């Protein structure tokens, strides 16, 4: 046997080992992925959009609402009033009384002086469009009309324009309260609460988060309206029912289920992709770069090698990592649905996020190309949802207290007195997992609050906004 043959055999033997190891690794990860999917399905989990999606509504009034928002070209570039503007701990200025304060966005900071006459003109300019939105929102569409498939296709919804409608309704409400048109302001709040329920069956996280943004505007607007005279029992009861119908925490779970389904659809697309499709999905350096134009064959070869190596070595491992990560997010959302205290759940989220970042930033994590694209910002999503849900529950309790006062001429001694006449159950504080805190003062005023994100009851100690104090306190009206 000559030297050349011996060298070839040695090299062949040397290559057999890594090929065998890669084959074993591929078989192991493929088996682990199949087992994990089987375990989830055995528990009743739905892993695809087809399984998750609810058939589109055929109710004619809901279809009309859906069609209005599908063809929505509404824009609102006016100033948005600053809502629930704290001027001292636990006390906020009423936006519709006194001088106007506005912000170019829906934020409640960096306020500047506005002019009521100009503000009314901006609202009058969109009054016709808002009238149509109010009409169709009497029957908010529960879905986008999309029939989901197990692919990456999804309905094209212009979330910016939907939020524009919410901002315009909020501005109209404040303007109407300023003019003393109480009934029109109530109609705007009714429409805002309905707008937050549009597309409520959509199994995507983006739907859940736009719902949170709309709810925040509507709930702060409700605080403003409760400061106005003219409420009666029927109006307050309707307003309370509007906000009771909203399910922000349930929507969060549904959104994470949708993210999990999206991950499965993404991996199915990757699994059968060619070089060009793989590059488009994964964001691999495109051929339009200067080097790609100069050396096209080299870059095509690079794309082919990267795709084949990923499919052989990392694809099943990547999908398993993504699926496990998204399953943990779903299970965490279910803890919130079960009224587990937010500080406890937040620790779970924090540990999950820290572990996720550590793994994605490791040498191992660099192979998880799809996971790095598809996994959302968990921490921010949970935080914003829980803040909006906290405000929703405080709002429901505050409305029930005001209804009690209207009927009996005084405020309740405790929240238990509201049940069952004004609430079916005392709203639970998501920060403690127990009923909201309430104290009736000797002068007839009251303190309604959550124990805050640390889970400790500090007796209703407020901050300069809802979230900066030790407790989350429903603000009292400050003098304007």
- Reading the block at residue 15, the tokens are 């290559």
pLDDT of res. 301? 65
Distance CA(224)–CA(206), nearest Å, equals 28
169 upstream amide cis, omega within 30 of 0: no
The rounded distance, in Å, linking the Cα atoms of 161 and 73 is: 7
First-last CA distance in the chain: 100
pLDDT at 104: 58
CA distance 12 to 314: 24
| Cα separation, 116 vs 368, whole angstroms | 55
Spell 5-35 as b/e; 16+ CB within 10 A means b: eeeeeeeeeeeeeeeeeeeeebeebeeebee
Residues found in the chain: 480
Task: Tell me the backbone φ, ψ of residue 77, rounded to 5 degrees.
Answer: -115, 10
The Cα-based distances of 382 to 211, 263, 371, 379, 427 in angstroms read 13, 19, 19, 5, 20
Where do we find the tokens 């912000």? 103
Confidence at residue 113, expressed as pLDDT on a 0 to 100 scale: 65
The residues pairing with 435 across neighbouring beta strands, listed in sequence order, are: 428
- What is the pTM (predicted TM-score) of this model? 0.88
Contact between 56 and 145 (Cβ < 8 Å): yes
- pLDDT of amino acid 305: 72
Distances (CA, A) of 111 to 213, 227, 288, 457: 19, 21, 46, 32
Strand order in the sheet with 437-440: 437-440, 446-450, 472-473
What are the structure tokens assigned to 143, written together?
A: 């879905």
CA 74, CA 389: separation in Å to the nearest integer? Answer: 28
Q: Count CB-CB contacts under 10 A for residue 270.
A: 20
pLDDT score of 16:
45
Query: What pLDDT sits at residue 12?
Result: 47
Of 367, 124, 133, 398, the C-alpha closest to 244 is 398
The burial of 248, by beta-carbon neighbours within 10 Å (0-12 exposed, 13-18 middle, 19 or more buried), is given as buried
* Parallel, antiparallel or unpaired: strands 112-114 and 428-429: unpaired
C-alpha triplet 85, 86, 89: angle, nearest 5°: 170
Per-residue pLDDT of the chain in tens (480 residues, 90 and over written 9): 555 544 444 444 444 455 444 455 556 678 899 999 999 999 999 999 989 888 999 999 999 999 999 888 899 988 889 999 999 999 999 999 988 988 754 444 455 667 899 999 999 999 999 999 999 999 999 999 988 887 777 787 888 889 999 999 999 999 999 999 999 999 999 999 999 999 999 998 999 999 999 999 999 999 999 999 889 999 999 999 999 999 999 999 999 999 999 998 888 888 888 878 887 777 654 444 444 455 455 556 666 777 777 787 788 899 999 999 999 999 999 999 998 999 999 999 999 999 999 988 887 777 788 888 888 888 889 999 999 999 999 999 999 999 999 999 999 999 999 999 999 999 999 999 999 999 999 998 999 999 998 899 999 999 999 999 999 999 999 876
- Would strands 85-88 and 112-114 be described as parallel, antiparallel, or unpaired? unpaired
Q: What are the residues facing 81 on neighbouring strands? A: 102
């Amino acid at each position: 046997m000559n030297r050349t043959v011996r060298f070839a055999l040695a090299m062949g033997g040397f290559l057999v080992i890594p090929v065998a190891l890669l084959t074993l690794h591929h078989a192991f990860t493929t088996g682990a992925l199949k087992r994990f999917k089987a375990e989830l399905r055995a528990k009743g989990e739905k892993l695809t959009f087809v399984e998750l999606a609810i058939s589109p509504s055929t109710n004619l009034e809901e279809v009309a609402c859906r069609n209005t928002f599908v063809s929505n070209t509404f824009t609102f570039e006016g100033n948005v009033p600053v809502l629930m503007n704290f001027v001292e701990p636990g006390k906020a200025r009423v936006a519709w009384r006194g001088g106007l304060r506005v912000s170019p966005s829906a934020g409640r900071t960096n306020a500047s002086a506005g002019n009521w006459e100009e503000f009314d003109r901006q609202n009058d300019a969109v009054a016709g469009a808002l009238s149509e939105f109010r009409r169709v929102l009497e029957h908010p569409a529960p879905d986008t009309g999309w029939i989901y498939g197990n692919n990456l296709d999804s309905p094209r919804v212009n979330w910016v324009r939907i939020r524009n409608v919410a901002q315009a309704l909020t501005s109209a409400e404040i303007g109407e309260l300023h003019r003393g048109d109480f009934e029109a302001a109530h109609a705007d709040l009714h429409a805002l609460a309905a707008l937050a329920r549009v597309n409520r069956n959509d199994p995507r996280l983006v739907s859940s988060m736009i719902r949170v943004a709309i709810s925040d505007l509507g709930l702060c607007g409700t605080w403003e309206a409760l400061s106005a005279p003219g409420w009666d029992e029927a109006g307050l009861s309707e307003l309370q029912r509007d906000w009771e119908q909203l399910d922000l925490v349930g929507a969060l779970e549904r959104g994470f289920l949708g993210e999990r389904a999206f991950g499965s659809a993404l991996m199915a697309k990757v699994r059968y992709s060619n070089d060009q499709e793989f590059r488009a999905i994964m964001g691999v350096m495109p051929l339009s770069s200067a080097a790609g134009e100069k050396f096209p064959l080299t870059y095509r070869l690079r794309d082919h090698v990267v795709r084949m190596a990923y499919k052989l070595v990392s694809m099943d491992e990547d999908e398993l990592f993504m699926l496990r990560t998204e399953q943990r997010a779903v299970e965490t959302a279910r803890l919130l649905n079960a009224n587990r205290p937010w500080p406890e759940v937040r620790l779970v989220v924090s540990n999950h996020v820290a572990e996720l970042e550590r793994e994605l930033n490791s040498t191992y994590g660099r192979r998880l190309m799809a996971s790095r694209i598809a996994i959302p910002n968990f921490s921010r999503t949970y935080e914003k949802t829980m803040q909006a849900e906290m405000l929703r529950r405080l709002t429901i309790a505050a409305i029930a207290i005001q209804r009690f006062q209207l009927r009996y001429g005084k405020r309740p001694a405790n929240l238990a007195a509201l049940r069952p006449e004004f609430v079916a159950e005392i709203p639970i504080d998501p920060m403690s997992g127990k009923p909201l805190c309430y104290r009736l003062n000797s002068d007839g005023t009251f303190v309604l609050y959550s124990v805050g994100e640390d889970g400790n009851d500090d007796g209703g100690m407020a901050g300069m906004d809802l979230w900066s104090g030790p407790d989350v306190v429903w603000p009292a009206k400050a003098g304007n």
